[in-house]
A = this chain, B = another copy of it.
Amino acid sequence: MYLEKINGPADIKGLEVSQLQTLADETRSALINKISKAGGHQGPNLGVVELTVAFHYVFDSPNDKIVFDVSHQCYPHKILTGRKEAYLDEAHFGDVTGYTNPKESEHDMFIVGHTSTSVSLALGLAKGRDLNGRRENIIALIGDGSLSGGEALEALDYAGEYDKNLIIIVNDNDQSIAENHGGLYKTLKKLRETNGACEDNLFRGMGLDYRYLEDGHDTAKLVELFESVKDIDHPVVLHIHTIKGKGLPYAEKDRESWHAGGPFHVEDGSPLYPNEGGESVVFDCLKELLDTNEKAIVLNAATPMGLGFVKGVREEYVNRGQFIDVGIAEENAVAMTSGIAKNGGTPVFGTFAPFFQRTYDQMSHDVCLNDSPATFLILSPGAYGMNSNTHIALCDIQMFAHIPNLIYLAPASNEEFKQMFRYATTQKKHPVAIRVVDNLRSTGVADDTDYSVLKNKVERKGSKVALVAVGGLVPMALEVADKVMAQSGTEITVINPGFVSGLDTDLLDSLKKDHSLVITIEDGEVMGGYGQNIAAFYGDSGMRVHCHGLSKAFHTEFKADELLDAHGISTEKLTAEIVQVLK
């Protein structure tokens, strides 16, 4: 057992090269111990075990600096840099996050969760080194899937002009989360097939030096390769072929399912807690659209499962020309969507809210300036979305609500989503984005609202206090109204805005008559959010306004209900606030 004595890279250097595979095997065991019990990114980490062992054998972290792209493949790195207990001992599983984090270790350079950033960040570290007159090695580790992202391609191109030490490890396991998409993957395939010797090498075409290694699980060859480029005086790409899921046969076989997931039985990969499945209103609506409108098309950017288009389902639509995965290339997806809408198609592009951050300019310039009637599904924004600071999206309203021409809808139920989706994909006037929060529920009552007329919905008509609840918070607001009624005998008004890209000024004006307080609640940052528009609207009247939303911070590892409660947004706190006012 070598691993128990490894508390940092220095301890690895004490081993013989011939002992490294054993260390790798032990590292893989530690990794499997945790992912089988606690879940996590399985495939990406299993694939880089040998690479990481060899890396730390050759390079001198933290003096030499490595940047992990997405950083979901940093578990072996964490195991080898003093954090092995978090993988070996269940009691310590929670000690580390699933991404690199400088607060955990001096061996982690950045907090990272989005793709395609590593080469840029490494270029920056390299330039910082140069300005300080130092000479450490700077390394970026990027997976093949991340190569298609604009930020990575811009950086590879600039690296081709840079003239000092920079080592770009392309970890090629021939897989994104789903299969790769883009012409460059044809070239990666040819490079793999020719031991790196084929024509039209994309990396050389970007001006970069290049080396290929066919077996990325051969620790001796990895050591040899890394030693050959250590202290190199110019940028070089090390194209290393690895196997995603290496070491677990079922994971090697089904690389998409084994990208990430929950706990499983190590023997056969069966899940510890089988997913019971559930309704997916998003998938149902998309499927119905594609099945009834042959000019309709669904686009996604490397996250087809987010829209319910899992393997086995999407192929039919791909063959019909109605489903496109552009790979990790959100900017291209959004601009393409605009073009499709301008040339007679009915496009819908959907991805997770944090990744829409990549498309701010394309949404504004390529889509909205051209008023292209396309539909965008902003998945999992707000507090009920992903809860790691690397993947939160608490400012979707700030991003999208102010872009001219864009109608930003916030359904409060699955039924509203359906009707809004129908409106968005049948109108031909404007771009429409729909805010698909993860806490949407069904009401059991179909929605027949005409969303071509943008008006707020009065869910409960009362007096004195109006509670305006954005999207998925409407059920909470209705509960609050019930409790306030029970405790104070007053029926308050509950408003579901439906759209958050503007105000229903007629309704707001009408409230002045018999209300003295408007309370707004939203599941994102309060500053620059929806509620402040209402506060400003009433700025010159006697109406009091309380805006509730999240504070400005990279909130992380939170439970949505608790985080909202801490910001005054819970049935109990809102009820107490209103009852107090009504006294």
| Contact of B123 with A336 in the complex, beta carbons under 8 Å | yes
Residues of B within 8 A of A338 (CB): 110, 121, 124
Residue A271 at the chain B interface, CB threshold 8 Å = no
* Set B112, B128, B360: member contacting A343, Cβ < 8 A: B128
**How many identical chains are in the complex?**
2
Residue A476 at the chain B interface, CB threshold 8 Å = no
Residue A511 at the chain B interface, CB threshold 8 Å = no
| Contact of B202 with A205 in the complex, beta carbons under 8 Å | yes
| Contact of A545 with B553 in the complex, beta carbons under 8 Å | no
Residues of B within 8 A of A221 (CB): none
Residues of B within 8 A of A102 (CB): 370
| Contact of A128 with B331 in the complex, beta carbons under 8 Å | no
| Contact of B545 with A536 in the complex, beta carbons under 8 Å | yes
Residue A109 at the chain B interface, CB threshold 8 Å = yes
A361-B360, A395-B402 known; A157 vs B161 contact (CB < 8 Å): no
A120-B332, A153-B150, A390-B369 known; A184 vs B160 contact (CB < 8 Å): yes
Chain B nearest Cβ from A440, distance in angstroms: 24
| Contact of B339 with A122 in the complex, beta carbons under 8 Å | yes
Number of interface residues, chain A, beta carbon within 8 A:
121
The complex places the Cα of A347 from the Cα of B200 at a distance, in Å, of 36
* Set B120, B358, B536: member contacting A339, Cβ < 8 A: B120
| Contact of B124 with A337 in the complex, beta carbons under 8 Å | yes
Chain B nearest Cβ from A510, distance in angstroms: 19
* Set B321, B331, B529, B554: member contacting A405, Cβ < 8 A: B554
The complex places the Cα of A132 from the Cα of B341 at a distance, in Å, of 12
| Contact of B130 with A321 in the complex, beta carbons under 8 Å | yes
Residue A404 at the chain B interface, CB threshold 8 Å = yes
Residues of B within 8 A of A527 (CB): 401-402, 502, 533
The complex places the Cα of A207 from the Cα of B147 at a distance, in Å, of 14
Residue A154 at the chain B interface, CB threshold 8 Å = yes
Residue A573 at the chain B interface, CB threshold 8 Å = no
The complex places the Cα of A122 from the Cα of B343 at a distance, in Å, of 10
A182-B160, A199-B200, A366-B117 known; A132 vs B361 contact (CB < 8 Å): no
Which 10 pairs of residues, A with B, have the shortest CB-CB distance? A160-B183, A124-B339, A150-B150, A183-B207, A128-B343, A120-B335, A202-B205, A539-B545, A153-B153, A357-B361
A-B contact pairs, 16 of them (CB 8 A): A102-B370, A110-B366, A127-B324, A127-B343, A128-B341, A154-B329, A157-B332, A187-B205, A200-B200, A201-B205, A369-B554, A398-B402, A502-B527, A535-B535, A535-B536, A539-B545
List the interface of chain A (C-beta within 8 A of B): 65, 67, 102, 109-114, 117, 120-132, 148-151, 153-161, 181-187, 199-202, 204-208, 294-297, 321-322, 324, 326-327, 329, 331-332, 334-345, 347, 354-355, 357-358, 360-362, 364-366, 368-370, 389-390, 395, 398-399, 401-405, 502, 525-529, 531-533, 535-536, 538-540, 544-547, 552-554
16 further interface pairs, Cβ-Cβ under 8 Å (given A128-B342, A160-B183, A535-B536): A102-B370, A120-B335, A120-B366, A124-B340, A127-B340, A128-B340, A131-B297, A148-B157, A151-B362, A161-B183, A187-B205, A357-B365, A398-B528, A399-B399, A405-B554, A535-B535
